[in-house]
Amino acid sequence: MKITALVENESRCALKARHGLSLYIETQRHKLLFDVGPDGTLFHNAGKLGIDLSEIDTVILSHGHMDHGGALGRFLKLNAKAKVYVQRNAFEPHSYKALFLKLPVGLDRALASHPQVTLLDGDCEIDEELSLFTVTGPGKCRSPINDVLYGPRGRDDFSHEQNLLITQDRSALIMGCGHTGVVNIMDRVKSRPPTVCVGGFHLYDPATKKAAPAALLDEMAHALKEYGNTRFYTCHCTGQKAFQYLARQMPNLSYLSCGETLEI
């Protein structure tokens, strides 16, 4: 299994950095994208790395925000075979509250009826390798950075968010922003903890430059010590301040920046 960050907030190479996420993943059976980023950054960076996006057979959209799914329309014009899996309510209106304004951050709703798009209502087993699951309820270690995000019925409950579990000889848990909390997401797979967990922890607001409080980070680090055999790779919405704080307590935590590849 190989996991490459095609779109991510930071780059230490010639690839473009962008606020968003797209991971290119090769498994024994699949060439897939987990999220597609907000814009043309995906296509520029894939070209630089020699990755042919027309060969992608599966796309997973983690949730209904444009920094993860804004490039979907352009991708579907390039690739006519990939199946796209997304929660049905990801296409509902979503917004970010800045002061007294709510700014739209949702997906192109017209794409919900595209023939390549499969709308899901909860967990889904795609095949023996790929399965998707959601997390509901208040849970533990809630990030206050969530408070500025809204759905059509008020503050977002992130029922439109899904996570990918890839099962081979070794396993990988892939998250988008982890709005429902990495601790709660890991709890869903605690009977068989994954070899690696990759994704954002949603601990940083790029508009206000605000990071989650240290007390929350301490609570998270303590809870995640249960998974000492899992290697965590965070990115995107975690933010460097929170990452560095957590990494001092978690020797099994690293940062995955644009262009970097994990071989599992």
Residues 6 or more apart whose Cβ sits within 8 Å of residue 218: 249
pTM of the predicted model, to two decimals? 0.97
Of the pLDDT bands very low, low, confident and very high (cuts 50, 70, 90), residue 99 is: confident
Q: Tens digits of per-residue pLDDT, 12-34?
A: 999 999 999 999 999 999 999 99
Distance CA 139, CA 76 (A): 35
- Domain residue spans of the chain: 2-263
Of the pLDDT bands very low, low, confident and very high (cuts 50, 70, 90), residue 94 is: very high
Residue 46 half-sphere exposure toward CB, CA atoms < 13 A: 21
Q: What is the mean pLDDT of the chain?
A: 97
Q: What's the rounded mean pLDDT across residues 254-259? A: 98
CATH code of domain 2-263 = 3.60.15.10
Question: Taking 90 as the threshold, does the pLDDT of residue 137 lie above it?
Answer: no
Question: Taking 90 as the threshold, does the pLDDT of residue 112 lie above it?
Answer: yes
3-state secondary structure of 91: helix
3-state secondary structure of 129: coil
